[in-house]
Structure 1
């Protein structure tokens, strides 16, 4: 799958509260970008790709109560689909690249917690939800996580690939780091999982942390890039570190779509 076009100006934005770098909360605006791809499975009209939804917003469908940003976006996007402003949720797959939690006040930068409610909110409306955990995401106890992964239409990946509607999607969650900290692995283990997934020849690879891009100032991992450059014609989705320009191309032709703090709607190109 190749991205053909990607808008630079958001189609729409929504206000939300997120932790400010110097403490407290600040108002930000979450953007939705539109793009096109060269091919999608016949039963899919679009992919909705997003990550790093670390904030809260008022939920118009619940009398203005505050909820996790991802829960609000799931219902908002689905409502726009039913109104005809976006593709129908029943014909849209969702890709989540991790870090979907915020504390209720949005005052704590890098807060960690249970994100099953966000996944369930998307799964309640959309054809399916596939993705990975970020380094701040939890899914309950080990037994609860296994039960969660068995739900229809939910594909939480970590070192494997699945076929959804004929689209082969692989995923590796977390980041490289000290394994005694949440959502981190030793470098060799993380890269080994990536290589294992790539042997299954996915069309789309979902990572939480992405590669660096030589010749630019974007933040990312050189060792992850070196693994990705061994594959051609791959679309990588990632988040974790924000890129001003969301799309990059690695040596060998692999495209990298960074959706940190943004959503991208990908539809079949004309």
Structure 2
């Protein structure tokens, strides 16, 4: 799968509260970009790709009480589909690249917590939801997580590849780091999982943390980049660290789409 075009200017934005770098909460605006890809499975009109939804916003379904940003976006974007402004949610797959949690006050930077309700909100509207956990995401106890992974429309991946209507999607969650901390693995174990799923020849690989870009001032991992290089036809989706320019091409043709704090709607080009 290759991205053919990607708009530089968002079509819409939505206000939300997020933890500020120096404490407290700040108002931010969550953008939706539009792009095209060379191919999608028959019957699938679009892919909605997003990550790092670490904030809260008023939810109309809860009489204006705050909810996790991902829950609000799931309902809002589905409603726009019903109005004809976006593809119908029932004909759209969702890809989540992790870090979907915020405390209710949106004042604690890097807060960790349960994100199952965000996944469920998207699964309630959309054709399916596939993706990975970020390093701040939890899914209940180990038993609860296994039950969650069997819920209809949910494909939480970590070292696995699934085929969704002919689209091969692989995923590796978390980041490289000290394994005694949430959502982290030793470097070799993490790279080994990426290499393992790449042997399945996925068209779409979902990571939470992505590669670096030599010569560019972006945060990322050089070892992950080295594993991903030289794989023309592969689209990698990641988040974790924000890139001003969301789309990059690695040596050998691998495309990388960074969706940290943004959503990208991908439709079939032509």
Match of 2:6 in 1: 6
Q: Is the 8 A contact 2:10 2:33 kept in 1?
A: yes
Superposition TM-score, scaled by structure 2 size: 0.99
CA distance in 2, matches of 1:242, 1:177: 19
Aligned to 2:169, the other structure's residue is in SS state: strand
Alignment of 1:56-67 (within 5 A): 56-67=56-67
Match of 1:193 in 2: 193
Superposition TM-score, scaled by structure 1 size: 0.99
Q: String of CA shifts for 1:157-193, please: whole Å, max 9, x gaps.
A: 0001000111000000000000000000000000000
Q: Is the 8 A contact 2:3 2:38 kept in 1?
A: yes
Q: String of CA shifts for 1:190-247, please: whole Å, max 9, x gaps.
A: 0000000000000000000000011211110000000001422210000000000000
CA distance in 2, matches of 1:230, 1:13: 35
Match of 2:28 in 1: 28
Aligned to 1:216, the other structure's residue is in SS state: coil
**Root-mean-square deviation (CA), in Å?**
0.5
Q: Which runs of 4+ in 1 moved over 2 A?
A: none
Aligned to 2:214, the other structure's residue is in SS state: coil
- CA displacement at 1:62 relative to structure 2: 2.1
Check if 1:262 corresponds to 2:262.
Answer: yes
- CA displacement at 1:61 relative to structure 2: 2.5
* Equivalent residue pairs, number: 270
Q: Is the 8 A contact 2:243 2:260 kept in 1?
A: yes
Match of 1:52 in 2: 52
Give structure 2 stretches of 5+ with no counterpart: none
CA distance in 2, matches of 1:160, 1:142: 17
Q: Is the 8 A contact 2:230 2:250 kept in 1?
A: no
Give structure 1 stretches of 5+ with no counterpart: none
Check if 1:156 corresponds to 2:156.
Answer: yes
